[in-house]
Amino acid sequence: MTNVAVTCTHLIRDIDGYRQVFADAGLNLVLPDVPGQELAGDELVVAMDGITGVVAGDDQFTDEVMAQLPDLRVISKWGIGLDGIDLPRAAERGITVTNTPGMFGNEVAEQGLGYLFALVRGIVDVDREVRAGGWPKPVGRSIGSLSAMVLGLGDIGRTLALKLQALGVTVSGSDPSPEATDFARANGIQIGDAAALARGVDVVMITAPLTATTRGMVDSDFIGGMRAGSWLINVGRGPIVVGNAVADAIESGHLAGAALDVFEIEPLIDERIRRLPNMILGSHNASNTFEACHRTHVRAIENLISHLP
C-alpha cells in the first residue's frame, strides 16, 4: 500500500472528513506531528520517511531534504506559495509539485479590506483604549476618498482591486505579467512601477508571491518613497517586507500605520514590532475560512492522488 502524508495543519485539523477519500484510493494515510506552522530539515526528513506523496503546508523541501527522500514522488502544496520548495531540484529528482491557485483569492482580499478599515478608522486602537478605561474619538478617513496601489495582480490582487474600486477607492497596481496588464487595462487601473506608484497613493497593499524579485522589495528605500502619512498592508508573503524598515517608518511617523498578516520569520518573534503603536499584527491567517479551507482540501487531495505513480 502506498504511504502518503499530510503536513498541512489546516487539513490535519479537518482530516476526519477526508480519511475515506484516502482509503478509497487505496492509500495509507500518515499524519506526522507538526508542532508549529511547518516542518523543515531533519524533522521533515523523519516525517517523510517511506512517504510517496504529501499534502504539504509551508514545509521547507530543500534539495538537501529531498536528497534524503528516495520514495517521494509528489508534493501537493496546499495553497499557492511554492517558495519553500526547490522546484528545479524537485524536477531533477522526478518529484511532481502541484499547488492550488484560485482557491482563496476572495478570502485574502477580504482580510486585506478588513485591515484597511481597521487602520484608517483606528478600530483596533480605539478598542484597546476603551478596554483601558478611555473614550477616544480619533478622526479617520473615508474609504472612498483614498487611493491604493496593489502590489501583485494575481488572483488575490485582482480580486482585491475590484473590491477596492467598488468602495470608491482609486486603484493602481504593479505586476509584470501580461495577464495583469490586460486586467488593469480592462478595469481602468493604472499599472506601472511599484515604487513610483507608491509615492502617490494613500495605501500600499501587498498581495504578491515571494520570488527572487519581490524578496526584500519593500525596504527602507521603498517605504521612504511612500507618501508621508500613508499606510502599508501585507497579506502576501512576509519576506517581501523588511520588518525593521516598517518599524523605523512607524517610529519616525513617516507611516501612519501598518497591518502585517505575514512576517519574515514566523511565528513573529520581533519584540520591537510587537511593541509598536499603529500596527495591526496578524498570524498568516488571511485564507483561513471554513469555505476556503474545504475547497482547498479537496483540490490538494485531488492533485495528490492524480499524480501518484
pLDDT tens digits for range 171-222:
999 999 999 999 999 999 999 999 999 999 999 999 999 999 999 999 999 9
270 phi, psi to nearest 5 deg:
-75, 105
Calculate mean pLDDT across residues 57-72. Answer: 98
CATH 3.80.10.10 at 2-100+289-307, yes or no = no
Q: Which of 121, 266, 294, 302 is catalytic?
A: 266
Dihedral sign from CA coordinates of 12, 14, 16, 21: negative
Q: HSE of 235 in the Cβ direction (CA atoms, 13 Å)?
A: 27
Calculate mean pLDDT across residues 154-172. Answer: 98
Q: Residue 259's closest CA among 118, 96, 64?
A: 118
Contacts 24+ apart (CB under 8 A), 92-98: 93/66, 93/67, 95/66, 96/307, 98/74, 98/300, 98/303, 98/304, 98/307
In the chain, what are the domain boundaries? 2-100+289-307, 105-281
Residue 164, phi-psi category: left (phi > 0), alpha (psi -120 to 50), beta (remainder): alpha
Asked if residues 304 and 22 have their Cβ atoms less than 8 Å apart, the reply is: no
Q: Is 284 one of the catalytic residues?
A: yes
DSSP state at residue 86: -
Q: Which CATH class is domain 105-281?
A: alpha beta
Say if residue 193 is exposed, middle or buried (CB neighbours under 10 Å; 0-12, 13-18, 19+): exposed
Q: Which of 237, 264, 297, 299 is catalytic?
A: 237
- In the prediction, which pLDDT does 223 show? 98
Provide the pLDDT confidence category of residue 11 given band limits of 50, 70 and 90: very high
C-alpha distances out from residue 266 to 38, 100, 282, 287, Å? 10, 22, 11, 16
- In the prediction, which pLDDT does 130 show? 98
Provide the pLDDT confidence category of residue 305 given band limits of 50, 70 and 90: very high
- In the prediction, which pLDDT does 92 show? 98
Q: Quote the pTM value.
A: 0.92
- Helix residue ranges per DSSP H, the chain: 9-13, 19-24, 41-47, 63-66, 87-92, 105-121, 123-131, 155-166, 178-186, 194-198, 220-225, 243-252, 271-275, 290-307
Dist. CA 134–CA 137, nearest whole Å = 10
pLDDT tens digits for range 257-304:
999 999 999 999 999 999 999 999 999 999 999 999 999 999 999 999
Q: Which of 10, 73, 158, 284 is catalytic?
A: 284
Q: Residue 154's closest CA among 129, 128, 127, 183?
A: 183
**What residue type is assigned to position 22 of the chain?**
F
- In the prediction, which pLDDT does 120 show? 97
C-alpha distances out from residue 55 to 3, 13, 74, 135, 170, Å? 12, 13, 9, 48, 39
pLDDT tens digits for range 221-250:
999 999 999 999 999 999 999 999 999 999
- Percent of the chain's residues with pLDDT above 70: 100
Provide the pLDDT confidence category of residue 69 given band limits of 50, 70 and 90: very high
Asked if residues 259 and 103 have their Cβ atoms less than 8 Å apart, the reply is: no
- Percent of the chain's residues with pLDDT above 90: 99
Q: Same CATH topology for 2-100+289-307 and 105-281?
A: yes
pLDDT tens digits for range 89-145:
999 999 999 999 999 999 999 999 999 999 999 999 999 999 999 999 999 999 999
Residue 209 C-alpha cell reads as 508571491
Q: Is 38 one of the catalytic residues?
A: no
